[in-house]
């Protein structure tokens, strides 16, 4: 399978755990190589800019948070785009609203990528701080593992690099963006 696949790291790094999807995208970009190639996109809080990505790719995986109060902090959930649309997604943050609404709009277009969202339930999306809580740190390896497993379903094989950038180094780049580090991504 040589499909055109994108991984979108989504979220807002300024609101603590809400940046987890961004950190995951950057972590996967820095620490693995992919065969066949994988486009890893800094999704931030894309809003309407998510639409062309959903129309350009065959498969899109979105790493994000899901502020679902019915689930324990750190719960990792994999949902298809169809499930997000049918369930109206979790819409507690602007980013969650934008993703679900862009999927709804694109589902009516002539082409919309087969979309999967891999979310982790945050503990704190209120504090203005570029970091993640200890609760999400304990689930970090599981979150990355679930994303890699989903990529393998689309024929993307990941190989870990010999030199690894730590989660703390990733967060530091978001806290102090520079031209050297491509402003985070």
Residues 10-64: pLDDT tens digits?
Answer: 999 999 999 999 999 999 999 999 999 999 998 877 777 788 888 899 999 999 9
Q: Which of 107, 16, 114 is nearest to 65 (CA)?
A: 16
CB 7 within 8 A of CB 25: yes
pLDDT surpassing 70 at residue 171: yes
Domain limits for position 109: 5-184
Distance CA 158, CA 178 (A): 27
pLDDT surpassing 60 at residue 102: yes
Distance CA 92, CA 40 (A): 25
What kind and span of H or E run contains 34?
Answer: strand 32-35
**pLDDT tens digit string along 116-164?**
999 999 999 999 999 999 999 999 999 999 999 999 999 999 999 999 9
- Alpha-carbon Rg for the chain, nearest whole angstrom, is 15
CATH number of the domain enclosing 75? 3.40.50.1450
Distance CA 42, CA 23 (A): 9
Number of domains observed in the structure of the chain: 1
Indicate the pLDDT class of residue 2, thresholds 50, 70 and 90. Answer: low
Look up the pTM and report it: 0.90
What kind and span of H or E run contains 64?
Answer: strand 59-65
Which residues, other chains included, contact 14 with Cβ-Cβ below 8 Å and sequence gap of 6+? 128, 129, 130
CB 120 within 8 A of CB 75: yes
Indicate the pLDDT class of residue 90, thresholds 50, 70 and 90. Answer: low
Distance CA 70, CA 103 (A): 23
- Phi-psi region at 27: left, alpha or beta (left = phi > 0; alpha = psi -120 to 50): alpha
């Amino acid at each position: 399978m040589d499909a055109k696949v994108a991984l979108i790291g989504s979220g807002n790094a300024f609101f603590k755990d809400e940046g987890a999807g961004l950190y995951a995208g950057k972590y996967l970009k820095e620490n693995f190589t992919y065969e066949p190639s994988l486009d890893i996109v800094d999704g931030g809080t894309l809003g309407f800019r998510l639409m062309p990505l959903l129309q350009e790719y065959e498969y899109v995986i979105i790493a994000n948070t899901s502020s679902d109060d019915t689930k324990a902090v750190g719960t990792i959930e994999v949902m298809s785009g169809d499930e997000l649309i049918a369930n109206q997604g979790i819409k507690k943050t602007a980013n969650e609203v934008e993703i679900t609404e862009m999927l709804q709009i694109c589902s009516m277009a002539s082409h919309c990528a087969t979309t999967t969202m891999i979310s982790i339930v945050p503990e704190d999306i209120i504090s203005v701080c570029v970091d993640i809580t200890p609760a999400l740190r304990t689930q970090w390896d599981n979150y990355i593992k679930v994303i890699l497993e989903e990529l393998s379903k689309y024929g993307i094989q990941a190989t870990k690099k010999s030199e690894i950038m730590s989660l703390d180094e990733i967060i530091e780049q978001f806290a102090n963006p520079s031209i050297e580090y491509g402003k985070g991504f």
